[in-house]
Structure 1
Amino acid sequence: MAETTDNSGRSSTRHLPLIVILCVAVIGAFTLRDFLSFETLRDNREALLAYRDAHFLGMVVAFVGAYILIVIFSLPGAAVFSMAGGFLFGLALGTVLNITSATIGAAIIFLAARAGLGESMSARLEASEGTIKKLKTALHENEIPVLFLLRLVPVVPFFAANLVPALVGVSFRNYLLTTAIGIIPGGIVFTWIGVGLGEVFDRGGTPDLSLLREPYVIGPIIGLCILAALPLVIRAVRGRKEI
């Protein structure tokens, strides 16, 4: 009886981080929807620049900490924050801070999801048979290409690319590697747009995100998607030939 109680307590504790993340994510989706916006950035522009100039290291720490929290709790405003990185720190440092923050946040939510649900779900998938078993085996045989695709394909939400790998039991090392590298193209683009935010605000305009659809921006990203998918295609063709 005592052992059952202990197991139940450990199970509840294991699920606590994921429960907290989900609760904060739901609350933040409603309360911060209009707060983390371009208007907020524009209205506080002078104060942010003044604080950056007076307390550069403090601004870096505050920016990275806030970005990590946004990623962990899937809060609205991640794109605005990425552009704010370019606005405050320039293209080179802004890109480094954006990618570092997003990777740390993604790693934390992966570990929370793995501890909460991933282990039990992975065990169930491992014990399953038929199509589900084949899909799980195929995923593990192609972990790195699939994880790269999750990061590179623009239509895959970032929070989904964080949670799904944890729930199906992929390698944390491969997840971390593909996250850190796979988000670089998008990170550069958003930071690049952010570098020009000051001029946009001076004109009284709003950021033009149509840049994301330009051929010289989306083209290389699509090319990287094709390269990431190439091993999957080759293995599929080889498998058919063997059959």
Structure 2
Amino acid sequence: MTRQTLRKLALAVGVLALAAIFFGLGLHRYLTLEYIKSSQQTFQTLYASHTAAVLAAYFFGYIAMVALNLPGALVASLAGAALLGFWPALLVVSFASSIGATLACLLARYLFRDVVRNRFSHLLDRVDKGIAEEGAFYLFTMRLIPAIPFFAINLVMGLTKMRLVTFYWVSQLGMLPGTVVYLNAGAQLGQLESLSGILSPGILASFALLGIFPLATKKIMGMVKKKQTDA
């Protein structure tokens, strides 16, 4: 067994160990809207007293969650907006999600690209061709369509030849509209005091955006693609 293989094996074991600790400690049980809502007052008191520490913990925790493909990123986004407020959550989630996605891409590239490319080179060649023809717009389109799983994009792009710098800045821009929509919904839920408040205009508008955004994005990207083809 070569030294590089041993390093890859050690890294894979480390990733699996961190995931096992996450589930073993039951941390996933805290990533529910019910728990977050019940702890809102306590958390906001802590946030007021230790703002920088809370933001740092949320930032690095979010990066780890995305980089290791752990469940709960969506709930963590909604919770961040509900507990921190829209603008602080937007700043943290926007950068943390892009950095975490880039780390996930890097892990997939280092651990799996050679093996997968040897077995499925014909499929990856098609993706590489799409990237070569459309450049960063290829990834940008994928990032704007919520129907494509977030973690799948990170893993698949890790198997391609796209530069990590390009992957990062395109992800930063491409995920921003969706992040704004979800955080807006989270901020509205954070203001909910009773079940009757679910009918407030702000919350209803946020839920409407959650439903309309994927459809509108798909329609717009289809129009852009058609215009490019016609040109």
Same fold (TM over 0.5): yes
Distance 1:134 1:66 in 2: 35
- Residue of 130, 147, 150 corresponding to 1:155: 147
| Bigger Cα displacement from structure 2, 169-178 vs 102-111 | 169-178
- 1:167 and 2:159 are equivalent in the alignment: yes
- Residue of 14, 20, 32 corresponding to 1:20: 14
Deviation at 1:50, TM superposition (A): 0.3
Does the C-alpha gap of structure 1 residues 213 and 62 become closer, same or farther in structure 2, counting only changes over 3 Å? closer
Distance 1:134 1:85 in 2: 38
Query: CA contact under 8 A between 1:72 and 1:108: conserved in structure 2?
Result: yes
Query: CA contact under 8 A between 1:114 and 1:169: conserved in structure 2?
Result: no
Greater Cα radius of gyration, structure 1 or 2: 1
- Residue of 41, 51, 54 corresponding to 1:46: 41
Please report the TM-score for the alignment, with normalisation by the length of structure 1. 0.77
Deviation at 1:11, TM superposition (A): 1.6
Does the C-alpha gap of structure 1 residues 11 and 66 become closer, same or farther in structure 2, counting only changes over 3 Å? same
Q: How high is the sequence identity, in percent, across the aligned residues? A: 22
| Cα offsets for 1:12-71 (capped at 9, x unmatched) | 203433443356447756845533100110121111100111111111101111111211
Distance 2:106 2:153 in 1: 13
> 2:222: which partner in 1?
226
Does the C-alpha gap of structure 1 residues 160 and 22 become closer, same or farther in structure 2, counting only changes over 3 Å? farther
Distance 1:194 1:100 in 2: 18
Give the root-mean-square deviation of aligned CA atoms. 3.1
> 2:131: which partner in 1?
139
Aligned to 1:188, the other structure's residue is in SS state: helix
Stretches of structure 2 lacking an aligned partner (at least 5 in a row): none
Aligned to 2:221, the other structure's residue is in SS state: helix
Deviation at 1:112, TM superposition (A): 1.3
Aligned to 2:85, the other structure's residue is in SS state: helix
| Bigger Cα displacement from structure 2, 51-60 vs 33-42 | 33-42
- 1:101 and 2:91 are equivalent in the alignment: no
- 1:211 and 2:211 are equivalent in the alignment: no
* Matched residues, number: 224
Superposition misfits of 4+ residues, deviation over 6 angstroms: 205-209
Query: CA contact under 8 A between 2:146 and 2:214: conserved in structure 1?
Result: no
